[in-house]
Structure 1
Amino acid sequence: MRTQVPHRWEWVADKKRKATLAKIPVEWILPEHVIKDAASRRKITGSFIEALLSDRECAITNITSPVLIERICERQYTSTEVTLAYCKRAAFAHQLNNCLHEIFFSDAIKAAGELDAYLANTGETSGPLHGLPVSLKDQFHVKDVETTMGYVSWVGTFEGEKGTGQEFNVESQLVEELKSLGAVLYCKTSCPQTLLLGETVNNLIGSTMNPVNQLLSCGGSSGGEGALLALGGSTIGVGTDIGGSVRIPASFCGVYSIKPSFGRFSYRKVANNDPGQTIVNSAIGFMSTSLPALDLFMESILSTKPWLRDPDVVEIPWRPHLKQQPKKLCFAVMRNDGMCTPHPPIARGVGIAVEAAKRAGHEVVDWQPPPHSEGVAIHGACLGADGGHDVWKQLAILHEPLIPQMEEMYGGGPTDPMPVPEYQDYALKRLRYTARYMEYWNSTVEFTGTGRPVDAVIMPVAPHAAVIPNRYFHYGYTEIADLLNFTAVAIPITTVDKSVDQTPDKFEPLNDEDLKNWKAYDADIYDGAPVGIQLLGRRFDEEHMISIAEEFVKLL
């Protein structure tokens, strides 16, 4: 019988997987029985992964970023000790959950040692993030570390090209800024092939599932970040968002995230899908186990004045005064975007948020902006304008197959790109739609009762809590913020309870997509999954929205 010879891409992927695992110290390799035990469980966060660590390692990896920095500065912990604890927990997380693309623990430990020496010799910290371990989505270039962005074809290259002299020799501006602030970078997390997916699946490592409920996806495209944070292998991470890519995995995995407006933080020298598409820009986003961490992180990065090096960054320093909130706020609520009905636990989560706001004496009104269906159509047209040519260009390098989840969008191969006049017309449509949306928001001053327009909009992140693999049908709830270039924060609210979150006897679908989404709900499968909401703000509204989100956390 003839032995089947693997395709070159399969050989490259296998070699890459083994090389990544080989970077985990031998003493951190988990026994096979632990791996099998994890695979048999629905939930591997919390007590399961913590049982593999010492009490001190648990203590270090269970505190928030600001507290961690404070304790390093007070010399309760050394940077080296903290880095070792996070590297170890991240190593366990990857073996249990398949959430890392790149491991550079040895470089991180060396950098931490240098920070300890600096503190000992000078009595001062190297910056406001001194000793803080930071994980990165695998779009960010770090010198001497590979960037694959979920493509097997990018292994051993610089964004798919060889012989450029840039291989392993480029650093994203944001990475340089983080290092200058004293952060310790130690791993890069998994993302889906093409990035354009609310799950994390690629031909390099397969799937990254949801560690809170392993029957479900961790989300995407910053899915590895969400999974790693849920497993305690990171306290703060950096991702990107063009259709919900930090808000979706944060909500699915039960952590916090913020999608700032594009132009607030540097995207310079960050790898991306179809980088020439600039009508709807991908924004830098941040994910964490706490809101104060996001606050500290953004303020610290902006202290480096990124606008002096990146022409796309607007010169807006951090504005702490915008965090001061009036005693009475007015929230709008969008329970249904008119395209896809949220599942019962999501509807309940939005209701919990609304009732919490009302109990605190805040105003809540209905949100009826220009139809989201119109905005979502513009968003989709812009992202698909190149006809899939960038995707197929990368896949063709090693004849790498398209993942099944992207078959509907790209399965037929590249198609004719959108003609330039039509593309320019969509740019104008986006501007007109955004202007109408802003006008509507301004008009709400007439009925808020506060003398101001609505402060923020409460809405779902997705129509489901996490997602059953290959059952993500509607991205409209997150896409709208990217189209508008508005700020949005995702916060956890509750978890699915199968005894409460049952479907009603009657359901009238809005359309075929709505029916497919509704039929995908299964209370037993979703039981225990995190339920989150997002708070939508206006452009460059990061300080205000972090403060609004912190208010919600207090209320809840």
Structure 2
Amino acid sequence: MTGWRTIAANKKAQQRALIPKEWTLKQADIPQKAETDVSRIPETCGLLNERELQITNSDVTELLQKLATGEWSSLSVTTAFYKRAIIAHQLTNCLTEIFIERALARASELDTILQRTGAVAGPLHGLPVSLKDQISVKGLESCMGYVSWVGNFADSNSVLTDILENAGAVIFVKTNIPQTLMVISHIIHVRIGRNYNHVFGRTSNPYNRSLTSGGSSGGEGALIAMRGSPLGVGSDIGGSIRIPAAFCGTYGLRPSYGRVPYAGCVNSLEGQDSVPSVLGPFSNSLAGIKTFLKTVIDAQPWLKDPLAVRKRWSDDEYNLADHGNGENLCFAIMWDDGIIVPHPPIIRGLEMVKKALLDAGHKVIDWKPSKHAEMHKCLGDIWAAGAADDYSAVTALVGEPVIPSMSLESEIPVVDIIDNVDTVITPSVSAYQLWQMHKKKRILREEYLQLWENTVRMTGTGRAVDAIIAPAAPYTAVPHGQNKTGQYTMVWNVLDYSTLVIPVSKVDSSIDLAKAPHVFYNEDDKTNYDIYNPVHFANAPITVQLVGRTLEEEAVIAMGEIVDTALKGVKVA
């Protein structure tokens, strides 16, 4: 049997060979390690002409308008984004599958349809769309960071891939993820904000390559941030859309269970249906987020995936019929979760949002979190209930080690090894024990619903809080291997709340100074305080989460537009 290291090396070499020489960066354009911000290199490297820069700097709305009129061909748009995606990959290592000829052939086919019929092939006509590696595309691999899955080619598309292609999209790249999609160690210590595997290596943050892009959809986060794709799809079981969106400064939506079809994707922890993974979009505009979701829902995915929710797109909900029609909204800000106090840039971002909303005529109150530690533990316990068996069954096929329990002589940097050689994954539990975790989760959801409903006494609007504004993490993007918790995102997965990441600003070392020590909640809170140094986090994006309730995607997007518009009217400090 071929060794796992050889399999991984061969796959990576095959990927490198697919990059056209004429799209390869000159050595002079590849910055030295000390030059951490690579986000502007596509603009300056000379590989993209003026029209290609114009195309790739356009948002989804403008792209679709010009594609529909034929002003820009799908071939030219796909070529431009493919070139920029390849540039982004050379700088951040964000891609897995590269299939240029196939994508360009699809784009040419769509151009022919428009020329012949005068009509678009669908609402996404000619638009390049990137997919997280686990989303199946017929004839392509989805190794999902496992060496043992290299060489497994999809026999068919996932349901979502079919829907996107039927809507006229051009699937053009797949993006990098961590091994297993998520990493669980000990009982509830979860590392979902990293992006490393033995096959493709690590994805870096384009705004500061010493920092993580987040995970598990870290390839999507980095690619969208580099404008190498106008619209991408990731997945989220505990923050895996929102963390990379937050760390890379893009918009990202975590929908409720079943709103976007998942059938046909590969995954870890399959059969764990208590807190399922969901698919959702990344984009550089909220218009891109809305366009994706409406397109997918209008395709009636419940007729193709039995777990998809039968809920049509609602213009009433998008127009905020249940939220005062968008007038005089009341937002609640969660300044911290009672477990870890966020770093100064995150607090500044929350303060900016508060000021923007107040200036726009909305009301803002404080959110007092309840039992977030219990929810964090409950979800970690559910994941860990069978994780050891799941990961071992796959990696044992070729002898590949599971990354969190690798020995010190492994190829992964020591900084990414959790507690070094003492790391263990919690052993599997009995069905009865797992049922008790599910029962606990249900009780926590019931209690949180009542907590939200009780805010009607504080809002002054006659209804409960319209949405919560919260950090996506207690920090911005952190150095590789140092994202130690997903608690600020995981709680919303337990509650199944629709949640949107919105960019706010970037770390400024002259403004985001370290604060005096506060009374620490616990040792983790103190550790988080101690790691903050504004110089180390330079240029990292600052974002917030907008949290709505279950299946409130339309309203969450609309309220996100209100917050985004308000922020753009505020001068950044």
Q: Same fold (TM over 0.5)?
A: yes
Asked if 2 retains the 8 angstrom alpha-carbon contact of 1:115 and 1:130, the reply is yes
Does residue 293 in structure 1 map to residue 252 in structure 2?
no
Deviation, structure 1 residue 517: 1.5
Deviation, structure 1 residue 34: 2.2
Deviation, structure 1 residue 417: 1.0
Letter in 2 for 1:501: D
Residue number in structure 2 paired with 1:195: 181
Residue number in structure 2 paired with 1:454: 465
Letter in 2 for 1:111: R
Pair 415,544 (structure 1): closer, same or farther in 2 beyond 3 Å: closer
Q: 2:157 aligns with which of 171, 175, 179?
A: 171
Does residue 465 in structure 1 map to residue 476 in structure 2?
yes
Letter in 1 for 2:486: Y
Residues 480-517 of structure 1: CA deviation (Å, up to 9, x unaligned): 11111110000111111111111123333211111222
SS at match of 2:209: coil
Measured in 2, the distance between the counterparts of 1:491 and 1:416 equals 37
Deviation, structure 1 residue 334: 0.6
Residue number in structure 2 paired with 1:391: 391
User: Equivalent residues in 2 for 1:106-505 (5 A)?
Assistant: 106-157=101-152, 167-196=153-182, 197-324=192-319, 325-404=325-404, 405=416, 407-408=418-419, 416-505=427-516
Measured in 1, the distance between the counterparts of 2:417 and 2:328 equals 45
Pair 252,374 (structure 1): closer, same or farther in 2 beyond 3 Å: same
SS at match of 2:13: helix
SS at match of 1:524: coil
Asked if 2 retains the 8 angstrom alpha-carbon contact of 1:340 and 1:474, the reply is no
Asked if 2 retains the 8 angstrom alpha-carbon contact of 1:369 and 1:437, the reply is no
Does residue 24 in structure 1 map to residue 15 in structure 2?
no
Deviation, structure 1 residue 46: 2.7
Q: 2:35 aligns with which of 41, 44, 63?
A: 41
Measured in 2, the distance between the counterparts of 1:303 and 1:243 equals 27
Deviation, structure 1 residue 551: 0.5
SS at match of 2:331: strand
Deviation, structure 1 residue 473: 2.0
Asked if 1 retains the 8 angstrom alpha-carbon contact of 2:128 and 2:229, the reply is yes
Letter in 2 for 1:504: K
SS at match of 1:526: coil
Deviation, structure 1 residue 30: 2.0
Letter in 1 for 2:244: P
Residues 194-237 of structure 1: CA deviation (Å, up to 9, x unaligned): 21120111111221110011121111110000100111110110
Letter in 2 for 1:116: D
Measured in 2, the distance between the counterparts of 1:186 and 1:60 equals 16
With normalisation by structure 2, the TM-score equals 0.92
Measured in 1, the distance between the counterparts of 2:55 and 2:20 equals 20
Structure 1 runs not aligned, ≥5 long: 1-5, 158-166
Structure 2 runs not aligned, ≥5 long: 183-191, 320-324, 405-415, 568-573
SS at match of 2:210: coil
Measured in 1, the distance between the counterparts of 2:121 and 2:271 equals 37
Measured in 2, the distance between the counterparts of 1:347 and 1:530 equals 13
Pair 293,550 (structure 1): closer, same or farther in 2 beyond 3 Å: same
Does residue 526 in structure 1 map to residue 537 in structure 2?
yes
Asked if 1 retains the 8 angstrom alpha-carbon contact of 2:29 and 2:41, the reply is no
Residue number in structure 2 paired with 1:162: none
Letter in 2 for 1:423: L
Does residue 91 in structure 1 map to residue 91 in structure 2?
no
Measured in 1, the distance between the counterparts of 2:417 and 2:371 equals 27
SS at match of 2:211: coil
Measured in 1, the distance between the counterparts of 2:111 and 2:489 equals 41
SS at match of 2:535: helix
Counting aligned pairs with the same residue, the percent is 39
Pair 353,86 (structure 1): closer, same or farther in 2 beyond 3 Å: same
User: Equivalent residues in 2 for 1:48-59 (5 A)?
Assistant: 48-52=42-46, 53-59=48-54
Deviation, structure 1 residue 40: 4.2
Asked if 1 retains the 8 angstrom alpha-carbon contact of 2:42 and 2:88, the reply is no
Deviation, structure 1 residue 152: 1.5
SS at match of 1:286: strand
Residue number in structure 1 paired with 2:410: none
With normalisation by structure 1, the TM-score equals 0.94
Measured in 1, the distance between the counterparts of 2:422 and 2:267 equals 20
Asked if 2 retains the 8 angstrom alpha-carbon contact of 1:471 and 1:520, the reply is no
Letter in 2 for 1:430: K
Measured in 1, the distance between the counterparts of 2:180 and 2:284 equals 27
SS at match of 1:535: strand
Deviation, structure 1 residue 410: 10
SS at match of 1:439: helix
Measured in 2, the distance between the counterparts of 1:448 and 1:365 equals 8
Asked if 2 retains the 8 angstrom alpha-carbon contact of 1:259 and 1:284, the reply is yes
Letter in 2 for 1:388: A
